Amino acid sequence: MSIHVLPPEVAAKIAAGEVVERPASVVKELVENAIDAGARTIRVEAREGGRRLIRVSDDGNGIPPDEVPVAFARHATSKLSCVEDLERITTLGFRGEALASIAAVSRLSLISRPDSHPAGAEIRFEGGEQVSLGPKGAPTGTTVAVENLFYNVPARLKFLKAPATEGGHIHRVVVNYALAYPELRFHLTLDQRVAFQTSGDGNLHSVLVEVMGLETARQMIEISPQAPATSPQPPAPISVSGYVGMPSLHRAQRDRLKFFVNRRWVNDRSLGAAVTQAYHTFLPVGRHPVAVINVTLDPADVDVNVHPTKSEVKFRDQRQVFSVVQKAVRSTVVSAAPVPHVGSSFGHGRAHDSVVSPEEAERWRRLTPGSGRSATQLGFEAQRTLPDDEGTSFQPAADGLPLLRVVGQIAQTYVVAEGPDGLYLVDQHAAHERVLYELMQADRVSAKVASQQLLEPVAVELTPAQAAVLEAEAATLAEIGFDVEPFGGTTFRLRAVPDILLKTDPATALADILAELAEGAVPLSRQSDERLIVTVCKRAAIKAGQTLSMQEMQDLIHKLERCSAPRTCPHGRPTMLHLSAAQLAREFGRM
Ligand code: ADP
Ligand code: MG
């Protein structure tokens, strides 16, 4: 075949393929146009996963009747006029391709009327051919109906998934814009059922409630405002806002991590990595946080014209954006000591431990017999307490606990305690894990991990996988108090164990710990020593279902009070629930 220029209709279909990949891409482009047109309310309707019909109506500026046909010309846009404009894009669209592309691969009608015009216009296309144009009475705004998408592109049609799947993609697109634009009202119907809607009250948290449900939304904390980060030259402030999940909230997939750059949803691996890094040690291995993050920066510092669907962006200073996001999320997660308030309304999750006056603390201390130094019955670790700050200050650290008075135990699993601000329900296992973890870390830092020589060395039979972990981790195991030597094949001799494991059967404990690490599948990495310690603490901690004496509970709570991060266990789950005095009063109708 000789070289020739493709006929325009073929070229148009090829170009359309870049923009319109599936029904959800049509929804995305039409919703963007509505937002760019200053709409307050945007309705989206789809039938059969968008294959049969997609209709998007808005109450935005509308298109003057005489400009309606031009809007469908390729590269026709009202949002950009010169190359320099590309440097400072503030609209979602700018390529002038969407309407032309969608019209090329469907049967499309558009009705539009600007407020200033008494009558609107209607235009119809079939497979890119204009089939009608005329005046039409209509409310202010624009409605675009797209029917029989890809009817003339069989190759694309073949690749469409089941209506439910395509509907799911449409749903996600609308959700993303609702998150980016809380001040707009969105309304989505799929096959005539309302699938999603927002109130447009301008509050991102209201949208989170609609998207994730009240329970999940309650566990999300607002990113604390930061001083804008400024790079030396030229000044380029980057700000980060949004909500991040408390560490107790995590998912197997990354799908609940959403990023918006200048209010545009983007798919950016590096931002994902920044957030994951910010949660380091707060989340169990292999789990992903939940977060909705808005990054705002000078449009000149970000290139959105990387991809036809504009879902990828390029930052001028990628490293700086990464670091600003990572810091903002980290400081929010760290400062928002994650004590979930039982049934508390959102926004009270932070700084709820009133700083107690010295008099109050003194009074409280008289009421809490367990809070002084006491004989302990929790095992060997109890003889050594964490640095004791009693007498110097009664004020809890930013993340610290107030002094608590133990009331009792329920379900042989939770310790009920009272503090100056209400009731605390403490998970005995998680709390003890935290105590042991901090103890072990402190000992490690000072290089004096307490280890006990066994009276008789014990032979431990390991599986090859466990033996591999043992060999890989030999140095850390020694550092935290294990003394193990090879005894031929996969048999080893255990001579000493960390103090905290003495109450257990040391050989089984070692095998269990190695088995758990071996199962982790993730190859042991940089943080493997961290995981090892966490696993040892988990094995050594009091279990649920164990009855504790009053003394043991007081002892546990007393040690927890001294931890630097008492509110989560080393896996990131909460160690306690807090029901504040105010909350109690409210629940009982006292206020
Ligand atoms: P782009 O959005 O990149 O400019 P489109 O092909 O999506 O390109 O739209 C072409 C033009 O049509 C837009 O620039 C805008 O002027 C007009 N337009 C499209 N949709 C709407 C709408 N919903 N309301 C008002 N004007 C619209
Ligand atoms: Mg557009």
Name the band, by pLDDT with cuts 50, 70 and 90, for residue 341.
Answer: very low
Q: Is 315 helix (H, G, I), strand (E, B) or coil?
A: strand
Task: Give the C-alpha separation, 267 to 28, whole Å.
Answer: 14
Write the residue with the smallest CA distance to atom 1 of ligand 1.
96
Task: Give the C-alpha separation, 172 to 195, whole Å.
Answer: 11
Q: Is the CB of 142 under 6 A from ligand 1?
A: yes
H/E element holding 329? helix 318-335
- Asked whether the predicted pLDDT for residue 207 surpasses 70, the reply is yes
Nearest ligand to the CA atom of 120? 1
Name the band, by pLDDT with cuts 50, 70 and 90, for residue 293.
Answer: very high
Nearest ligand to the CA atom of 61? 1
Q: How far is the CA of 18 from the centre of ligand 1 (A)?
A: 18
Task: State pLDDT tens for residues 161-191.
Answer: 999 999 999 999 999 999 999 999 999 999 9
Q: Is the CB of 95 under 6 A from ligand 1?
A: yes
Tally the C-alpha atoms within 13 A of residue 504's C-alpha that lie toward its C-beta. 22
Per-residue pLDDT, 33: 96
Q: How many CB atoms lie within 10 A of CB 588?
A: 8
Q: What are 522-529's contacts with CB under 8 Å, separation 24+?
A: 522/285, 522/286, 524/469, 524/472, 524/473, 527/280, 528/472, 528/473, 528/476, 529/473, 529/476, 529/479
Distance from the first to the final alpha carbon of the chain? 85
Q: Is the CB of 63 under 6 A from ligand 1?
A: yes
Residue 263: is it exposed, middle or buried by C-beta count within 10 angstroms (0-12/13-18/19+)?
middle
Short-list 319, 327, 328, CA closest to 270: 319
Determine contact, residues 208/220, Cβ cutoff 8 Å: yes
Average confidence (pLDDT) over 84-90: 79
Task: State pLDDT tens for residues 69-83.
Answer: 999 998 889 888 788
Q: Is the CB of 141 under 6 A from ligand 1?
A: no
Determine contact, residues 421/403, Cβ cutoff 8 Å: no
How far is it between the farthest Cα atoms of the chain? 97
Rounded to 5 degrees, what are φ and ψ at 300? -70, -15
Write the residue with the smallest CA distance to atom 16 of ligand 1.
78
Q: How far is the CA of 145 from the centre of ligand 2 (A)?
A: 15
Per-residue pLDDT, 426: 95
Could you identify the atom of ligand 1 that is nearest to the CA of residue 76? 10
Q: How far is the CA of 330 from the centre of ligand 2 (A)?
A: 36
Q: Is 68 helix (H, G, I), strand (E, B) or coil?
A: coil
* Residues, beta carbon < 5 Å, ion ligand 2: 33, 93, 98
Q: Is the CB of 143 under 6 A from ligand 1?
A: no
Q: Is 84 helix (H, G, I), strand (E, B) or coil?
A: helix
Per-residue pLDDT, 352: 34
- List CB contacts of 212: < 8 A, sequence separation 6 or more: 220, 256, 290
Q: Is 131 helix (H, G, I), strand (E, B) or coil?
A: strand
Task: Give the C-alpha separation, 99 to 80, whole Å.
Answer: 16
Could you identify the atom of ligand 1 that is nearest to the CA of residue 60? 24
| Residue pointed to by tokens 């070229």 | 11
Task: Give the C-alpha separation, 150 to 160, whole Å.
Answer: 10
Average confidence (pLDDT) over 243-259: 85
- Asked whether the predicted pLDDT for residue 525 surpasses 60, the reply is no
Q: Is the CB of 57 under 6 A from ligand 1?
A: no
Per-residue pLDDT, 354: 37
| pTM of the predicted model over 0.75 | no
Task: Give the C-alpha separation, 443 to 370, whole Å.
Answer: 24
Which tokens go with 485? 């030597």
28, 99, 109, 146, best to mutate for ligand 1 pocket (most atoms within 8 Å of CB): 99
Write the residue with the smallest CA distance to atom 17 of ligand 1.
71
- Residue 391 amino acid letter: G
Task: Give the C-alpha separation, 148 to 104, whole Å.
Answer: 12
Q: Is the CB of 302 under 6 A from ligand 1?
A: no
Q: Is the CB of 60 under 6 A from ligand 1?
A: yes
Average confidence (pLDDT) over 324-350: 61
* Average pLDDT in the chain: 83
Per-residue pLDDT, 552: 92
Tally the C-alpha atoms within 13 A of residue 355's C-alpha that lie toward its C-beta. 4
Per-residue pLDDT, 346: 30
Average confidence (pLDDT) over 504-532: 74
Q: How far is the CA of 20 from the centre of ligand 1 (A)?
A: 15
Q: How far is the CA of 245 from the centre of ligand 2 (A)?
A: 33
Per-residue pLDDT, 254: 81
